[in-house]
Structure 1
Amino acid sequence: MMSRGMRLVLRFGPFKGLLRAPNLSPQSVLHRHTPRLVPGTSFSSSTDTLVSRFCPKNTDLKDYAFPNASWSPEMMRLYEELLEKTKNGDWVKLPSFKSNRDHIKGLKLPGGFISASDKEDYHIFTRCILKEGKGFEYVIFFHPSKKKSICLFQPGPNLEGAPGFAHGGSLAALMDETFSKTAYLSGQGLFTLSLNIKFKNLIPVGSVALLKVEVEKIEDQKIFLSCIAQSPDEQVLFAKASGVFLQLELEEEE
């Protein structure tokens, strides 16, 4: 089980050059996204483009971010409340497929990275336990104009750390997942450069954690985000986190 204080720093190994953002065009990226984000301001239409690519209307892929019999009444209540907010277009419910391969279409991958998760047994980590209610039960809602997300997370018994409580690593994984989706849709962020977490309280297995993620700023081709994980009534703080993601270029339309 993870300690109360933890610092995760991604080690790129042969891809350390990512930290210097090779093969990116600062002129085409930074001019659109460098200003510090302020709630209520207007943003680049590239966000709408990414959201439309991320949320295809016609797809045969199974979306795992829908309610199932394992969802608790609290999980369902929160889901319905957030779903109601999507009706006026302010919020978007993000689909969750077993692979991110289709999510990152339209982005130029740096340093020789190739999307290779085309095998049937390849799954995104948070969708590796497919039996309902046993692993990661979650759904993410995104607010395009404010560039923030809310994730509902219900950890199953296969994610246990201390008896009866979710492993700290499962919360770290969901924070990273929500960070990555928010960074991607807010400014073409994809690779985690750093993830810092301070754990405060344990999450009981089967209960619901509310993860609130916001983009703090975008500069030097890096996206800085913050996250608070708490109980739905906001009375119990589970953890606080910050993350930095590498910003990529959109491929030119043919």
Structure 2
Amino acid sequence: MMRRSLWLVPRFGSCKGLLGPPSLRPQSVLHRHTPRQVLGTSFSSSTDSLIARFCPKTTDLKDYALPNASWSPDMMRLYEEFLEKTKDGEWIKLPSFKSNADHIRGLKIPMGLTTTTSKEDGRLFTRFLEKEGQGYEYVIFFNPSKKKSVCLFQPGPYLEGAPGFAHGGALVALVDETFSKTAYLLGHGLFTINLNIKFKNLIPVGSVALLNVQLEKIEDQKMFLSCIAQSPDQQVLFAKVSGVFLQLELEKEE
């Protein structure tokens, strides 16, 4: 099992282009020491444009965040409950594609980082298996106004650590992925600076965990998020996680 502070590589996210046309985020959005209670309107227009920029309105890419035969009754029930909440526009279901290369463009990557991997070779770590139900089965719902996300997670047998239970590292990877999607859509938060996790209980393979992610605060170009991973009935706490993400700037569109 993995414990204490973790330094992880950047992860990217994806979502459905449901809102208005894309636009650039002004530099003034990078607040200094912004208290959580005044975050309500500061990011609204930026979030709308990020959601539109982040995801194409039409695509032939496969969405892996849709129900399949491996989903348990609990997973389906929760999915339908949250899908119902999307009807008034407060929540958004985020699709999940094999790779994020088509969905995050135009960011100024710091420190001169480059990659030699071709677009065709890339694959999102949490979508590394085509066979349904064996690895990560999950779907993320995003709430822009409340600055939060909920991830429904059903670990498959290929994520096993202790016999019959999901590996702690599998949970960390998905929390990091949910953090990064939330942070990006709330203001270009993308690079993981720090993760700290406290494990409480093991997640049985094939069961469902709820990952409740919340933006806590923004200081300079750092976004601070928290996550509580628990059973659907909230009776079993699996882990508490905190994370810090670096906000990036957008290149000018040509």
Report the TM range for the smaller structure's normalisation.
0.7 to 0.9
Number of residue pairs the alignment of both structures matches: 237
Distance in 1 between residues matched to 2:38 and 2:149, nearest whole Å? 13
Q: Describe how 1:146-161 pairs up with structure 2 within 5 A.
A: 146-161=146-161
Q: Displacement of 1:32 after TM fit?
A: 4.5
Identity in percent: 71
Distance in 2 between residues matched to 1:252 and 1:195, nearest whole Å? 31
Q: Displacement of 1:39 after TM fit?
A: 7.5
Match in the other structure for 1:172: 172
Unaligned runs of 5+ in 1: 13-27
Determine whether 1:42 maps to 2:41: yes
Distance in 1 between residues matched to 2:30 and 2:132, nearest whole Å? 41
Determine whether 1:75 maps to 2:75: yes
Q: Which residue identity is paired with 1:71?
A: W
Distance in 2 between residues matched to 1:190 and 1:31, nearest whole Å? 15
Q: Displacement of 1:30 after TM fit?
A: 5.1
Q: Deviations over 1:22-44 (max 9, x none)?
A: xxxxxx53554332232882233
Q: Displacement of 1:121 after TM fit?
A: 3.7
Shift in alpha-carbon separation, 1:145–1:245, aligned structure 2, 3 A = same
C-alpha contact 2:231 2:237 (8 A) present in aligned 1: yes
Match in the other structure for 2:85: 85
Shift in alpha-carbon separation, 1:49–1:117, aligned structure 2, 3 A = farther
Q: Displacement of 1:52 after TM fit?
A: 1.3
SS class of match (1:107) = coil
Distance in 2 between residues matched to 1:85 and 1:55, nearest whole Å? 20
SS class of match (1:184) = helix
Q: Deviations over 1:170-196 (max 9, x none)?
A: 000010000000110011011100000
Match in the other structure for 2:197: 197
C-alpha contact 1:147 1:215 (8 A) present in aligned 2: yes
Match in the other structure for 2:144: 144
Distance in 1 between residues matched to 2:9 and 2:94, nearest whole Å? 28
Q: Which residue identity is paired with 1:148?
A: K
